């Protein structure tokens, strides 16, 4: 019984949630596609490591041409990458990429799943990957995904046999997939999962190969292909007016934080699948030997007969003509013993009945956020746009199970609206479940088996419209969503989220004390209930002094914020610690903050996260005051430098001239500036002239792939993809007397401790003798890399190129990184007065 109710929950919560907030309004041709999918009972699962690994053309082909239920299991949420749309990195970027994947799946027709593995950054091989991922847990999650999704075929994006040729996460995803295939049907493996699901044996496993994995097109052309299946996924869909490859490009273009905008192609395109497990499929049919008809299910034959009739006699000008047969089929599906197919197909046919009837059902609120125990109004709308008689019997609001009797006949094109008032009761927070508990570098901490793998936290508030059609009562479920009219965008739907009654946050995640002066630190308190009266304290270590110890706060209106300030005094010695704002409200302590991520192209994300800031006392000296910053792909160098007392001006690249730059003590290029800012091509000479006149120019990393910038430095310099991913890799000093290591801060081994994620990336490999390498680093078992920090004298000034990950270390408050960066900015100023 427990198993049954879980499966139901899984399907209902997951599937509706994945459809986002905007109601679907399928056309007659799209309804027909859905009827064809209803009549195909086969499932495929594609497995990769990251958002963007998936082959959207193949996923779309399987979902739209083959009509299979198709999933993409991305082991991670892509937290470790870079962000082209905004400042979010790490976990918040993972939230954005999760939503990008869901958007992609809404376009290509797939479904999305994850594991608890966290994308901790680049790793060179599976061995390194599995130092951070807990192999048993990630394998368990892959098995869990397969047992729930029950795919007939599994397709791996990567080759499990060639470690070291690609990102370690990639190879590991394929290795775990192959291992899972072999043990997923064994009840003695991960038996705790069998409380909620059943074992399963997929029929075949493939590797989605291409010429790339063979080294070159030429080698691939010559290779033995007897074990490969070739298929043409360049098909055209008249129902959508699009080629499969065009859909694929639209889907791929959802990876906006990675800048993967993609222009679609048309025409035939061959996809290759290498058979890894199972028998070679006859006629290139991936599902050969699998009964993908309704006969697959016990009691399905009669359903299949009715539904093939529906498919054959479908009237594109009058989809409602199919309603009587669909309602009969619904009743038969509802009686199936096979839980898996029953729940899946009930969901599909319910959607089809709704679409055929032109039935529009909506449950909305006019507020985006609510707390537990709050009274809210729900507006419901129901309209039938067919001649079929229907009666809305009642509406049930979940999770409260509040039933409101309606007894309303839904006549053709007659709109019915009503308001329902509810109290939210002990509603759970809707924040991403995988961020609730502190995880490790490589793993999210999720204990509830039922949540593992879900793309989002289930939003529990829903309306079930129980509608009687031809004597059968069908429950139509709609997520409760926030709806409003925007003067520019028009009708907007966003998630309806549950938040705590109060949020307290220090805006800066890291606060640097570069001297012994006290700082006024602001705590932003936001009320999510009206007439909030509370007191606020800052939990801190005894080394640090906080005054006053407690402050009262009172906020009248819901949604309003106020700032309260505490004096924080650091200890004399270098130290790193945390400050946690705590709000005492009605006898409860709240220590979380509510943040929102709003980029328009994904649903508004509301997160409730642990609220804490790192406080760092630095022993740091610096020379120079005024720094110019040229933004690249996005980093927080200006904010970080302001923290240690620099004035920073963000430079408009259009304005760059040597005279304009002359006001700055140093100019810093944001990460990937040359990759992302085209106009810099024409401004490079002006920058070099500034250096020649005595300026200091610090260039952070640029990616080597496709890099065609002619003169990144004043002397020749060649970038590569060399990187050091071990953040603890030993640092060897090459040039102990170099100014960078001595002035104004004496850099020692201590300064290379406590770094995060990596040492650096895209180091130059070849450089003119004018550049002096300063340090040497490498990952375990690899050659020494000397190009992470290069300095050249040019005219009266200095040019520095560095692939060291300052963009990660400074926001993380790494003391040594601050001291070293201050030295970069202070180069050539040893005869000036030192500040610190």
> Residues in the site for Zn ion, rule: CB under 5 A?
50, 53
Neighbours of 194 (CB within 10 A): 14
User: How far apart are the C-alpha atoms of 758 and 721, rounded to whole Å?
Assistant: 14
Shortest spacing between CB 41 and Zn ion, in angstroms: 32
User: How far apart are the C-alpha atoms of 19 and 106, rounded to whole Å?
Assistant: 7
Between 53 and 141, name the residue whose CB sits nearer to Zn ion: 53
Shortest spacing between CB 342 and Zn ion, in angstroms: 36
Edge-to-edge strand list for the sheet holding 69-74: 111-114, 69-74, 43-48, 153-156, 204-207, 270-277, 228-232
Between 56 and 436, name the residue whose CB sits nearer to Zn ion: 56
Between 668 and 704, name the residue whose CB sits nearer to Zn ion: 704
Exposed, middle or buried, 420 (CB in 10 Å: 0-12/13-18/19+)?
Answer: middle
Between 60 and 129, name the residue whose CB sits nearer to Zn ion: 129
Between 166 and 386, name the residue whose CB sits nearer to Zn ion: 166
For 176, the 3-state DSSP assignment is: helix
User: How far apart are the C-alpha atoms of 695 and 796, rounded to whole Å?
Assistant: 7
The pair of three-digit structure tokens given for residue 143, joined into one six-digit string:
């098995």
Between 13 and 155, name the residue whose CB sits nearer to Zn ion: 155
Q: What DSSP state is assigned to residue 833?
A: P
Between 93 and 297, name the residue whose CB sits nearer to Zn ion: 93
570, 514 contact by CB (below 8 A)? no
Q: What DSSP state is assigned to residue 61?
A: I
Peptide bond into 744 cis (omega under 30): yes
Between 53 and 79, name the residue whose CB sits nearer to Zn ion: 53
Among residues 395, 597, 635, 615, which one has the least CA distance to residue 497?
A: 597
Between 128 and 689, name the residue whose CB sits nearer to Zn ion: 128
The pair of three-digit structure tokens given for residue 24, joined into one six-digit string:
């679907």
User: Which residue has the CB atom at the shortest distance from Zn ion?
Assistant: 50
Shortest spacing between CB 234 and Zn ion, in angstroms: 24
End-to-end CA distance of the chain: 68
Exposed, middle or buried, 335 (CB in 10 Å: 0-12/13-18/19+)?
Answer: exposed
**Spatial CB neighbours of 533, under 8 Å, sequence gap ≥ 6:** 552, 553, 554, 585
- Positive/negative CA dihedral, 668, 673, 677, 680: positive
733, 741 contact by CB (below 8 A)? yes
Shortest spacing between CB 386 and Zn ion, in angstroms: 47
Between 50 and 723, name the residue whose CB sits nearer to Zn ion: 50
List Cα–Cα distances, 711 to 101, 683, 814, in angstroms: 37, 11, 32
Shortest spacing between CB 165 and Zn ion, in angstroms: 13
Shortest spacing between CB 159 and Zn ion, in angstroms: 13
505, 524 contact by CB (below 8 A)? yes
578, 546 contact by CB (below 8 A)? no
Between 167 and 622, name the residue whose CB sits nearer to Zn ion: 167
Shortest spacing between CB 48 and Zn ion, in angstroms: 7
Shortest spacing between CB 586 and Zn ion, in angstroms: 47
User: How far apart are the C-alpha atoms of 518 and 42, rounded to whole Å?
Assistant: 65
483, 366 contact by CB (below 8 A)? yes
Across the chain, how many H-helices and E-strands are there?
A: 18, 43
List Cα–Cα distances, 503 to 318, 391, 450, 609, 836, in angstroms: 52, 44, 28, 9, 36
Shortest spacing between CB 650 and Zn ion, in angstroms: 32
User: How far apart are the C-alpha atoms of 827 and 836, rounded to whole Å?
Assistant: 15
561: β partners: 526
Shortest spacing between CB 145 and Zn ion, in angstroms: 18
Shortest spacing between CB 722 and Zn ion, in angstroms: 19
Shortest spacing between CB 50 and Zn ion, in angstroms: 4
Between 130 and 580, name the residue whose CB sits nearer to Zn ion: 130
Between 70 and 173, name the residue whose CB sits nearer to Zn ion: 173
Shortest spacing between CB 120 and Zn ion, in angstroms: 13
DSSP annotation string for 355-394:
HHTT-EEEEEES-SEE-TT-EEEEEEEEEB-SSS-EEEEE
Between 42 and 51, name the residue whose CB sits nearer to Zn ion: 51
Shortest spacing between CB 603 and Zn ion, in angstroms: 24
73, 110 contact by CB (below 8 A)? no
User: How far apart are the C-alpha atoms of 267 and 742, rounded to whole Å?
Assistant: 62
């Amino acid at each position: 019984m427990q198993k049954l109710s879980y499966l139901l929950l899984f399907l209902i919560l997951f599937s509706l949630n994945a459809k986002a907030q905007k109601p679907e309004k399928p056309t007659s041709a799209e309804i027909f596609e859905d009827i064809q999918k209803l009549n195909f009972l086969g499932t495929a699962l594609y497995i990769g490591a990251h958002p963007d690994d998936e082959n959207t053309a193949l996923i779309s082909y399987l979902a739209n041409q083959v009509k299979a239920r198709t999933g993409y299991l991305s082991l991670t949420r892509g937290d470790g990458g870079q962000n082209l749309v905004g400042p979010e990195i790490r976990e918040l970027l993972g939230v954005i990429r999760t939503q990008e994947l869901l958007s992609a799946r809404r376009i290509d027709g797939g479904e999305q799943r994850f594991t608890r593995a966290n994308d901790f950054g680049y790793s060179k091989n599976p061995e390194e990957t599995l130092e951070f991922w807990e192999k048993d847990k990630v394998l368990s999650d892959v098995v869990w995904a397969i047992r729930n999704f029950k795919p007939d075929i599994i397709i791996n994006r990567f080759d499990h046999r060639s470690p070291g040729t690609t990102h370690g996460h990639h190879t590991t995803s394929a290795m775990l997939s192959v291992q899972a295939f072999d043990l997923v049907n064994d009840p003695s493996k991960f038996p705790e999962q069998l409380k909620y699901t059943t074992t399963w044996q997929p029929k075949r496993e493939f590797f989605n190969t291409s010429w790339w994995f063979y080294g070159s097109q030429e080698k691939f052309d010559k290779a033995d292909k007897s074990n490969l299946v070739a298929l043409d996924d360049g098909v055209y869909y008249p129902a959508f007016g699009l080629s499969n490859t065009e859909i694929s490009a639209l889907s791929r273009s959802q990876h906006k934080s990675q800048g993967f905008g993609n222009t679609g192609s048309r025409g035939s395109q061959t996809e290759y699948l290498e058979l890894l497990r199972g028998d070679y499929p006859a006629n290139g049919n991936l599902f050969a030997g699998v009964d993908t008809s309704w006969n697959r299910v016990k009691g399905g034959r009669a359903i299949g007969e009715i539904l093939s009739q529906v498919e054959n006699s479908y009237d594109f000008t009058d989809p409602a003509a199919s309603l009587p047969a669909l309602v009969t089929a619904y009743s038969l599906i509802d009686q199936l013993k096979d839980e898996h197919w029953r729940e899946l197909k009930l969901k599909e046919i319910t959607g089809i009945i709704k679409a055929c009837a032109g039935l529009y059902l909506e449950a909305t609120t006019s507020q985006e956020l609510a707390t537990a125990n709050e009274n809210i109004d729900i507006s419901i709308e129901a309209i039938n746009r067919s001649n079929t008689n229907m009666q809305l019997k009642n509406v049930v609001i979940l999770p409260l199970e509040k039933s409101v009797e309606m007894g309303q006949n839904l006549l053709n094109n007659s709109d019915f609206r009503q308001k329902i008032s509810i109290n939210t009761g002990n509603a759970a927070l809707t924040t991403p479940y995988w961020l609730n508990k502190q995880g490790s570098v490589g793993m999210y901490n999720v204990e509830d088996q039922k949540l593992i793998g879900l793309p989002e936290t289930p939003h529990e508030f829903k309306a079930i419209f129980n509608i009687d059609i031809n004597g059968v009562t069908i429950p139509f479920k709609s997520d409760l969503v926030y709806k409003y009219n925007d003067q520019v965008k028009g009708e907007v739907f966003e998630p309806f989220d549950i938040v705590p009654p109060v949020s307290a946050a220090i805006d800066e995640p890291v606060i640097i004390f570069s001297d012994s002066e006290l700082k006024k630190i602001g705590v932003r308190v936001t009320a999510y209930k009206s007439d909030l009266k509370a007191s606020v304290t800052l939990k801190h270590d005894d080394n640090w002094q906080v005054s006053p110890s407690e402050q009262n706060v009172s906020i009248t209106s819901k949604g309003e914020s106020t700032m309260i300030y505490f004096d924080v005094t650091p200890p004399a010695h270098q130290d790193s610690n945390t400050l946690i704002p705590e709000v005492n409200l009605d006898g409860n302590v709240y220590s979380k903050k509510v943040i929102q991520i709003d980029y328009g192209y994904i649903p508004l994300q509301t997160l409730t996260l642990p609220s804490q800031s790192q406080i760092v006392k630095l022993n740091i000296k610096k020379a120079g005051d005024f720094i110019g910053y040229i933004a690249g792909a996005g980093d927080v160098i200006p904010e970080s430098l302001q923290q240690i007392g620099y004035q920073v001006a963000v430079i408009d690249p259009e304005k760059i001239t040597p005279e304009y730059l002359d006001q700055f003590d140093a100019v810093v290029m944001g990460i990937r500036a040359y990759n992302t800012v085209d106009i810099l091509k024409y401004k490079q000479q002006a920058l070099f002239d500034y250096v020649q006149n005595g300026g200091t120019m610090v260039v952070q990393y640029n990616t080597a792939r496709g890099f065609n910038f002619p003169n990144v430095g004043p002397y020749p310099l060649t970038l590569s993809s060399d990187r050091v991913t071990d953040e603890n890799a030993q640092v060897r000093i090459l040039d102990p007397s170099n100014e960078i290591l001595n002035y104004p801060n004496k850099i020692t081994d201590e300064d290379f401790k406590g770094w995060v994620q990596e040492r650096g990336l895209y180091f130059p490999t070849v450089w003119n003798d004018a550049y002096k390498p300063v340090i040497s680093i490498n990952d375990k078992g690899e050659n020494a890399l000397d190009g992470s920090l290069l300095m050249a004298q040019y005219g009266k000034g200095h040019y520095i190129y560095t692939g060291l990950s300052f963009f990660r270390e400074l926001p993380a408050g790494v003391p040594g990184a601050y001291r070293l960066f201050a030295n970069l900015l202070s180069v050539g100023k040893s005869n000036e007065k030192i500040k610190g």
